[in-house]
């Protein structure tokens, strides 16, 4: 049963590894990968000198930390609320409605956002103009986009993410909860002293898995919301994935794109190792290895 998973990682994770050599050469089509000039660390040095590396790293990490922390807290909150609902038909209806945004494509989300935020015809500015207020230039204001991106992500992913925590709550022994009720514990006390400690191992495991991709931005969401070429928004919306996309599609700079991707992978590996070491130090039973 493990063979399909092993084959998947061999084909898509290990066999492409020789391509990392692109990060250390100045690739050109004529000479190919292994005959192009070897430039050592020049691609990485260029990223550091231009300042792009720090901006990309900061944006990607901050977005992912917001996604991970706010997302998990909101998912736990929703799972606990669903568990407290007593009417089964209302619980099923609520789960279905919250689960639906996960199936909406990023392209459609970007279209909805544009129809709301567009300067000339967006719903927001139509309303503002109707009440005599000045329209908002959303697509040239970089400071409001972190809030829009994070809120959009939470709206789309909370219902789906809460399923894991809700399933964990379902595994809680009902006799423990009933005993607490008999002893006079109210709903808030049951949540604080029984449900939340029960969810702690699940939260730590999901957190460690998420930290592995802390430098892998949500390209689909950000690209469809703001695009990859809106220079006015680079300061707060440009992440590693959009930079690599521009390097490959606009500049055809495969070497620079590979250098950023290699940096991304090494950084994520170090974050996972560090986070697991900290968890193992303070809570050995919840570490990954």
pLDDT in tens, 197-213: 899 888 888 888 787 77
Is 0.75 topped by the overall pTM?
yes
Instruction: Name the residue with higher pLDDT: 254 or 164.
Output: 164
Average pLDDT over residues 209-218: 79
Q: Would you state the pLDDT for residue 286?
A: 66
CA separation for the pair 78, 166 (Å, rounded): 8
Q: What is the pLDDT of residues 58-72, one digit of tens each?
A: 898 899 999 999 999
Q: Would you state the pLDDT for residue 288?
A: 67
C-alpha to C-alpha distances, 166 to 55, 82, 118, 170, 173, nearest whole angstrom: 37, 8, 38, 6, 14
pLDDT averaged over every residue in the chain: 85
Q: What is the pLDDT of residues 85-113, one digit of tens each?
A: 888 888 888 888 888 888 889 999 999 99
Q: What is the pLDDT of residues 10-50, one digit of tens each?
A: 998 888 888 888 888 888 878 888 888 888 888 888 777 76
Instruction: Check if the beta carbon of residue 67 is closer than 8 Å to that of residue 150.
Output: yes
């Amino acid at each position: 049963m493990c063979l399909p998973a092993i084959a998947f990682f061999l084909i898509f994770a290990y066999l492409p590894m020789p391509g990392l050599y692109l990060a250390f050469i100045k690739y050109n089509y004529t000479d190919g990968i292994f005959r192009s000039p070897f430039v050592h660390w020049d691609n990485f040095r260029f990223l550091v000198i231009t300042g792009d590396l720090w901006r990309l790293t900061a944006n990607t990490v901050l977005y992912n930390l917001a996604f991970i922390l706010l997302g998990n807290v909101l998912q736990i909150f929703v799972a606990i609320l669903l568990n407290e609902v007593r009417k089964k038909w209302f619980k099923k209806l609520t789960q279905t409605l919250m689960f639906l945004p996960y199936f909406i494509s990023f392209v459609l989300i970007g279209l909805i956002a544009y129809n709301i935020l567009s300067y000339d015809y967006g719903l927001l500015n139509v309303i503002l103009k109707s009440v005599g207020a000045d329209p908002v230039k959303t697509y040239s204001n970089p400071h409001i986009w972190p809030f829009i991106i994070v809120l959009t992500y939470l709206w789309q992913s909370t219902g789906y993410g809460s399923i894991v925590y809700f399933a964990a709550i379902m595994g809680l022994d009902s006799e423990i909860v009933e005993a607490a009720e008999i002893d006079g514990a109210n709903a808030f006390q049951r949540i604080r002293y029984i449900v939340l400690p029960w969810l702690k191992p699940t939260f730590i495991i999901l957190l460690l898995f998420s930290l592995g991709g802390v430098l892998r931005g949500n390209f689909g969401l950000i690209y469809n919301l703001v695009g990859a070429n809106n220079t006015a928004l680079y300061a707060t919306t440009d992440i590693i994935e959009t930079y690599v996309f521009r390097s490959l599609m606009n500049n055809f700079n495969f070497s620079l794109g590979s250098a950023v991707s290699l940096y991304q992978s090494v950084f994520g590996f170090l974050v996972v190792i560090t986070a697991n070491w900290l968890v193992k130090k303070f809570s050995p039973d919840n570490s990954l290895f």
